Amino acid sequence: MLVRPDVLRICARFLPCAEDAEDACQDTLLAVSTSIGTFEGRSAFRTWLYRVAANRSRTTYRALRRRFDAEGSAPPPEFLDPRRTSVVAGTRVDMLDGLSAIGAEYAEAVALRDMAGLAYAEVAVVLGVPEGTVKSRIHEGRRRLRDHLGHAG
């Protein structure tokens, strides 16, 4: 099983720039190699890997945001320029801002389902909650995202 291409693909779903996705991919692979002992086998390895990649991608995004906010500067043009970033990738910036605004329990469920592509049952195993709770969190998280994105523009 080749892990790196899958991890890079997951990270690229979260981050609009290839370089940032590559950084998150490297962070993910390092985290997996150093914390493989914490993998309990309650879920498939791939499911656990998706969670680590999603979390590392969100951490990379938050670090980029903090850097831009601390500098008082706008993101560099390649971060948002529609000529260099697809329409889908451009909306990822809004989505990541929204995920930061809706609360961690909702953001993680939505990210694992809608961005990482896990099934509800897989999300339930990763989060350690019943599938009904996952569906509820995803429903509420999507509602909060809609509200946030509707007011953001």
Number of domains the chain is built from: 1
Burial 23-47 (b: 16+ CB within 10 A, else e): bbbbbbbebbeeeeeeeeeebeeeb
Write the pLDDT tens digit of every residue in 80-139.
444 434 444 445 667 777 888 888 889 889 888 887 788 999 889 888 899 999 999 999
Query: Which residue, 122, 51, 134, 64, is CA-closest to 92?
Result: 64
For 91, the domain range is 3-152
Mean of the pLDDT values across residues 63-68? 78
pTM of the model as a whole? 0.61
Query: For position 118, which CATH number holds?
Result: 1.20.140
